[in-house]
Amino acid sequence: MNREAGAADRAPFPCPLYAIFDPSQSRGRPLSAILRDLLAGGVGIIQLRAKETAAKEFLRLAREMRGLTRPTSCLFIVNDRLDIALAAEADGVHLGQEDLPLAIARKLMGREKIIGISTHDLAQAKEAERGGADYIGFGPIFGTFTKDTGYSPRGPAMLKEIRKAVKIPIVAIGG
């Protein structure tokens, strides 16, 4: 991917399927079994989102996921925690609107790592692109019970508007 802020000629997003693994939603299934099924199903990127997990356990999960994804073409992204992403040698980090600023994350991660930003409206999407994000997560598209975003469902029409306004890849999320 081209990581130049504001670049219009970015490489295509590496996959049509982006999965989010949250250990609190695993219903007791082992991580290795879930990951094996996701990889067999064609997932190209998997994000570890473990908001309620203590740092040591988060790092253990991240290292396990890195070990399972390393021999594959699947990219591994850590949600929110730049420190965990770096320690686990993840391919990148996904940051929310209240997380570490994009410019600081880029400085710490380097240009070769992927940085995604959660967005909920047109202004946030444009700002993420201007700031050099590699992709945006946009939503919630539909209502969701797995994460309280504080935002009402955005719907496919707003997603279409965002697609016209930014050139970086978009991951539609929620619902």
Domain that holds residue 82: 18-172
The answer to whether the peptide bond before residue 140 is cis (omega within 30 degrees of 0) is yes
- Indicate the pLDDT class of residue 145, thresholds 50, 70 and 90: low
Q: What does pLDDT average to over the chain? A: 90
pLDDT of the residue at 146: 65
Sign of the CA dihedral with 138 first, then 24, 84, and 17 last: negative
Has residue 8 been placed in a domain?
no
Can you give the CATH number for the domain in which 34 is found? 3.20.20.70
Helix (H, G, I), strand (E, B) or coil at 79: strand
Res 4 pLDDT > 80: no
Domain count, the chain: 1
- pLDDT greater at residue 1 or residue 135: 135
Has residue 105 been placed in a domain?
yes
- How far, rounded to the nearest angstrom, does the alpha carbon of residue 116 sit from its chain's CA centroid? 5
Has residue 131 been placed in a domain?
yes
pLDDT of the residue at 8: 40
- Indicate the pLDDT class of residue 11, thresholds 50, 70 and 90: very low
